[in-house]
Amino acid sequence: MDLKDAKAGYDALLAEAERKATAGAASAASVFAQVAAHSAAGRHPGFFRSADLEALLSDLGARFVLPSAPVRRRRPGGSPRRRVLHVLTEAYSIGGHTKALYRWIGADSASTHDVAITQQVEPLPPALVDAVAAAGGRIRLLDGVENLIAVARDLRRMADGADFIVLHVHPYDVVPLLAFGADQERPPTLVFNHADHVFWLGESICDCLVNFRRSGARLAAARRGLGPERSALLPLPLLPSSRPDAPGKTEARRILGLPADAPISLTIASEYKLVPNRRADFFALHRPLFDADPEFRMVLVGPSATSAYWMERAAETGGRVHPMGMRSELDLFTAAADVYLDSTPFASQTALLEAVLDGLPAVSWRPYPAESLSAVLASDDVALDDQPVIFHDAAAYLSQVRALLADRSAAEALGRAQANAIATLHWGPAWTDSLERTYEAAALNAADRPAPSAPDQGPSDVDQDLLEFQAGSRRGVAPEVQHFRFLPVRLQIATWARIPKEDRPPLKEFLPLRLRQRVRRAWSGMRR
């Protein structure tokens, strides 16, 4: 797969969406628009936004959504509390952007928070439900119909009277553009840039892009059409660690079956983030640690214990690589480890920050030049600017890791310093002050709509780096099949038949959304 092939696939899907729209088939057009956007997000086509696709969705919204679903500003005499409507595509029990949402709600006590979810399948995470209830808000699943146009109408009805709209949606979710793309009178609209490294929808309705790191803001300014005036930096909201009953190192290692005195590293990341490519090979990078110390152990939370690749790495090291699969008791692993190693070639920044808050010193190697837009695939955080965390030189990186493994007292002291730096900016008064400035920027920009698009600065190394990562990790294989459930059955069958046999999804992907939800929730209830 190369950039030309990825672009050709996107262009064909966009053309199909345009044909459906021309024929007046609004529902099918919106589905193919979402399929096109997901294709671009999962198989990078060499660009990060599409004015044509956003214009198509705005036109569909103007014709089929806005006339039947007006949105009014706050009415005089209402509650003095600010009302914020958060919009998600899906909420996950495990996932950084869902955590960021419910922590945002918990930290912003000056507002009432409502949540609208456009395409939820799994049961809702209890932490999100509790946070919204504590904030005096409500959660609504916009799943009453199998039709994205109708979902957009429901979203507009829920936005009626809101002071701010905050989009935490997947970068390919078409519902917000259908709902708000043609409405210059909508409430100030913020977009939380949680997927800051891929193609996105939302440039034309974004009054303020909420970036959690500088590399994402740089990419947005260079390639996503947003000038600096429509961008803000808001660190991820992170709760300081408070686990008085957390096990000590000796007990944690006993529970996990790890040696009591061995130097142990920890990495928490989805397996696809560790697939080697020309830029980085996580295991090869750390192989010198195994060679230099026969006691060194590497614990990986995320990669499966049955993964062929990691089973081979474990065999190479005499069982000193420990892939643990997906786990929930992360405090047990942070208690057992001596140092946290960030994943590469794709970083896992939320996991790194949370490990530091649990007391582990962290080290991250960035295989991309500091000035490159590809740095968005690595970690960076304002709280760590003055801490020895991010390294561009592999030798200096390994030297730091060795030093931390050799001196536990020094490692613990550094872990405390890093944790204090993160807690200061990621929670408390400093964070809420940043949030207030972000709301103010959105309101100011909303008064000056429509905003001009910033020019795309053109191709760079990030295009090939991103596509290579997606291809190597198999993240770009038919990611859009999940949207076929919104199509009429006849179109579902025709579309399924066009997918290469090796990429065809299981037939359950074609169940109507409502039926899938019922099956998943019933199954979840049976397991409990």
Q: What is the pLDDT along the chain (528 residues), one digit of tens a residue?
A: 689 999 998 999 999 999 999 999 999 899 999 999 999 999 999 999 999 999 999 999 999 999 887 777 665 555 678 999 999 999 998 778 999 999 999 999 999 999 999 988 788 999 999 999 999 999 999 975 668 999 999 999 999 999 999 999 999 999 999 999 999 999 999 999 999 999 999 999 999 999 999 999 999 999 999 989 999 999 999 987 766 677 899 999 999 999 999 999 999 999 999 999 999 999 999 999 999 999 999 999 999 999 999 999 999 999 999 999 999 889 999 999 999 999 999 999 999 999 999 989 999 999 998 889 999 999 999 999 999 999 999 999 999 999 999 999 999 999 999 999 999 999 999 999 999 999 999 999 999 999 999 999 999 999 999 999 998 876 554 555 567 666 666 666 666 676 666 666 666 666 655 566 666 666 655 555
CATH number of 249-426: 3.40.50.2000
Sign of the Cα torsion 179, 182, 183, 187 reads positive
Give the residue range(s) of CATH 3.40.50.2000 domains in the chain. Answer: 72-239+440-446, 249-426
Instruction: Identify whether the C-beta of residue 216 lies closer than 8 Å to the C-beta of residue 302.
Output: no
The CATH superfamily of 72-239+440-446 is Glycogen Phosphorylase B; (3.40.50.2000)
pLDDT of residue 472: 81
Neighbours of 85 (CB within 10 A): 24
Peptide bond into 367 cis (omega under 30): no
CA distance 384 to 421: 7
Pair type for strands 231-233 and 208-211: parallel
Query: pLDDT for 94-108, tens place per residue?
Result: 778 999 999 999 999
pLDDT of residue 95: 72
Sheet holding 139-141, edge to edge: 139-141, 111-117, 82-88, 164-167, 189-192, 208-211, 231-233
User: pLDDT tens-digit profile of 238-282?
Assistant: 987 766 677 899 999 999 999 999 999 999 999 999 999 999 999
Q: Which residues pair with 117 in a beta bridge?
A: 88, 141
Q: b vs e for 159-194, b when ≥16 Cβ sit within 10 Å of the residue's Cβ? A: bebbbbbbbbbbbbbbbbbbbbbbbeebbbbbbbbb
